[in-house]
Amino acid sequence: MCVPGCHEAVMRQLSRRGFFRGVGAATLAAATLPAAVAPARAQTVSFQKAVDLTHSLPPDFPTYFGDPQLEIEKVFAFDKDGFNLNVWHLNEHTGTHMDAPIHFSQDGQSADQIEIEKLVVPIAVIDVKAKAAEDPDYQVSPDDIRAWESANGELPEGCCVAMNSGWDAHVGTDKFRNADGDGVMHFPGFHPEAADMMISDRKVVGMGVDTLSLDFGKSPDFKTHYTWLPTGRWGMEAIANLDAIPASGATLVVGSPKIVGATGGPSRLIALV
Amino acid sequence: MCVPGCHEAVMRQLSRRGFFRGVGAATLAAATLPAAVAPARAQTVSFQKAVDLTHSLPPDFPTYFGDPQLEIEKVFAFDKDGFNLNVWHLNEHTGTHMDAPIHFSQDGQSADQIEIEKLVVPIAVIDVKAKAAEDPDYQVSPDDIRAWESANGELPEGCCVAMNSGWDAHVGTDKFRNADGDGVMHFPGFHPEAADMMISDRKVVGMGVDTLSLDFGKSPDFKTHYTWLPTGRWGMEAIANLDAIPASGATLVVGSPKIVGATGGPSRLIALV
């Protein structure tokens, strides 16, 4: 009952990238889960407007594995039935969506288990548009984080750090996946060392990207995923509209699904500015 | 490809209730769409904590039509594949979920088309728990709205008005649907006259209930739905946890899906208090 071609497309993609060679190591890493970050959020937060950071999600929204991941089945129609109603056949990792810890771990939190305090958080936006325009394989580095902090102060406790690579502008074109002749994609992401820094030296709960993956497109091993998610932190992929909020000072409300056992899922992201 | 029994269950339920006799009238009502409310929200909003108003959504979450409306298909498993991933087969009107205008109209807004300004709004909570405990067929009336206003001032412009009937406490039991021997359900809802008042005499954009329908359970004709949704306003059903927020002063963030053409869908509701 998978959406058309989904399993086959994934297998094709993973095999091309030698992904399965890394599974053993990943299992080991996931076995050593540190305690989740528990942000303190007692202060008063103020805002004046809401900004939508969510892409519209049609059935042909671009996907990591290449094939469509959403089918909308119209079950009732107003003309005939007096109301409209659809059933969705939907891969969790489609559109602007969450990666829950269990997506890349044996027994991490599913989307429904993430504490509400981790879903309303400060958002820090790291602008790497110029670097990504020059090098589509760019990876956000610890130096990028330090540069953000030089301008804005230390990353706030319990925040989400989002990469603004300018990639959301490509969502309607092949440039969003930017696959070469061998099917290897080229888009920016977070370097595993940046993930390490945000885990060990800061108190960050969420990692966001405006691309199809927390890892850069040509990653052969999902190393940033395996570094980040098993520690009890969440990821958010295919964020839209990050140009519309400031580098510092906005609050992110993560409207992630509360479906039991979900490994993530399409989310409504709203920034309060 | 509908989830098991969904079409059959709906037809059974609608036929039992003589629903199809009302379709002609409904079509007529929906043809006269007034302009949507456009709330003004320029002032500063402050909050100190986030409260989750969303039920966890397992496959057996109670449904209006009685049969399960969610199947979770596990497509990849960490042990075998190095990551976990599911595909959902999901009726849009399941769990804590939105009714978009197009759910009960020919050409109203779908969920993805609702303006962001209508998704971050003041929430007014009308407590009818005592009345609903005494009469499960209770309908929120214009008098209930006036009583709320006597205590809290006029309903704020662009707000959501939510019924707290105490029904969320029944979600794990048959009392949530409360069907009698004839299959007719008995739970509270909004009276169509209350809907009329909120459309004509106030500037309300959303109607919320902690039950399975905007209409009370034994409604034969979905009259509140047909009064409310075709005017460009949204509904929210099966809200959880309304006891945890004040009658007045909280802000609701509606994490509704942005799937193109959706007639609604499971939503993450977060109140800022």
Taking the C-alpha atoms of residue B230 and residue B102, their distance in angstroms, rounded to an integer, is 7
Which residues in A lie closer than 8 A to residue B104 (C-beta atoms)?
78, 82-84
By Cβ distance, the residue of B19, B73, B260 closest to A1 is B73
pLDDT confidence bin for B12, thresholds 50/70/90: low
Tokens representing B107 are: 């050409």
Tally of domains in chain B: 1
Q: What is the pLDDT of residues A96-150, one digit of tens each?
A: 999 999 999 999 999 999 999 999 999 999 999 999 999 999 999 999 999 999 9
Is B103 among the catalytic positions?
Answer: yes
Q: Do residues B229 and B251 make contact, with C-beta atoms less than 8 angstroms apart?
A: no
pLDDT of residue B219: 98
Beta-carbon separation of B44 and A47 below 8 A:
yes
| pLDDT value, residue A17 | 55
Which site among A7, A84, A222, A267 would you substitute to test the B interface, given the most B Cβ atoms closer than 10 Å to its Cβ?
A84
Task: Copy the structure tokens of residue A147.
Answer: 């540069």
Write out pLDDT tens, residues B23-72: 434 433 433 333 444 444 568 999 999 999 999 999 999 999 999 999 99
Q: Nearest by CB to A45, which of B46, B52, B88?
A: B46
- For strands A70-76 and A234-237, give the pairing: unpaired
Question: In the prediction, which pLDDT does B8 show?
Answer: 61
Q: Which of A269-273, B16-20, B42-46, B147-151 has the lowest mean pLDDT?
A: B16-20
CA distance B208 to B266: 14
How much is the pLDDT for B20?
Answer: 44
| Cβ neighbours, 10 Å, residue A193 | 17
Residue A138 counted as domain residue: yes
pLDDT higher than threshold 50 for residue A26: no
Average pLDDT (A262-267) is 98
Mean pLDDT of A68-89: 98
Q: What is the DSSP string of B180-219?
A: -TTS-B---EE-HHHHHHHHHTS-EEEEEESSS-SS-TT-
CA distance B131 to chain A (A): 30
CB–CB contact A48 B43 (8 Å) = yes
What is the per-residue pLDDT for A4?
A: 42
Contact check, Cβ <8 Å, B50/A266: no
Write down the pLDDT at residue A20: 45
Angle at which helices A142-152 and A192-200 pack, to 10 degrees? 50
- Mean pLDDT computed over B125-152: 98
Q: Would the pLDDT of B114 be above 50?
A: yes
A117–B43 CB contact, under 8 Å? no
Please give the mean pLDDT across all residues of chain B: 90
Residue B260 inside a domain? The answer is yes
Per CB-CB distance under 8 Å, the chain A contacts of B272 are: 45, 120
Instruction: Give B70's contacts in chain A (Cβ within 8 Å).
Output: 259
Alpha carbon B168 to chain centroid, angstroms = 13
Q: How confident is the model at residue A10 (pLDDT cuts 50, 70, 90)?
A: low
Q: Is B258 within 8 Å of A56 when comparing Cβ atoms?
A: yes
Q: What average pLDDT does the segment B226-241 reach?
A: 98
Residues of A in contact with B105 (CB under 8 A): 78
Give the single-character DSSP code of A137.
T
Pick the catalytic residue from B97, B103, B170, B191.
Answer: B103
Q: What is the pLDDT of residue B5?
A: 42
Average pLDDT, chain A: 90
Q: What is the pLDDT of residue B268?
A: 98
With respect to residue A24, please indicate whether it lies within any of the assigned structural domains.
Answer: no
CA distance A8 to chain B (A): 11
Model confidence band, residue A185 (pLDDT cutoffs 50, 70, 90): very high
Q: What is the pTM of this model?
A: 0.91
Residue A156 covered by a domain: yes
The pLDDT score that the predictor gives to residue A15 is 61
* CA–CA min distance A145, chain B (Å): 28
Does residue B264 belong to any structural domain of this protein? yes
pLDDT of residue A110: 98
Residue B230 lies in a domain: yes
Q: What pLDDT, on the 0 to 100 scale, is given for residue A43?
A: 86
A209 lies in a domain? yes
Which among A57, A84, A120 is the nearest to B258, CB-wise?
A: A57
How far does the CA of residue B133 sit from the closest CA of chain A (Å)? 28
Residues of chain A with pLDDT > 90, as a percent, come to 84
Whether B96 has a pLDDT exceeding 70, the answer reads yes
The lowest-confidence range among A26-35, A146-155, A232-241, B235-244 is: A26-35
- Strand ranges (E), chain A: 45-47, 50-52, 70-76, 85-91, 97-99, 120-127, 139-140, 159-164, 189-190, 204-209, 234-237, 250-255, 264-266, 268-272
Reported as a single tens digit per residue, the pLDDT across A219-257 is: 999 999 999 999 999 999 999 999 999 999 999 999 999
> B87, B89, B103: best mutation site toward chain A, by most A Cβ within 10 Å?
B87
Tokens of B24: 């002609």
**What range defines the domain where residue B43 resides?**
33-60+90-272
Q: Indicate yes or no: CB of B88 within 8 angstroms of CB of A90.
A: yes
Where residue B44 sits, what CATH number does that domain have?
3.50.30.50
Q: Is the dihedral of CA A23, A29, A31, A33 positive or negative?
A: negative
pLDDT at A28 over 60: no
Residues 6+ apart with CB under 8 A from A117: A38, A39, A41, A158, B50
Q: How far is B150 from chain A (nearest CA, A)?
A: 28
Active-site residues of A, by number, are: 103
**B7: in domain:** no
pLDDT at residue A60, rounded to an integer? 97
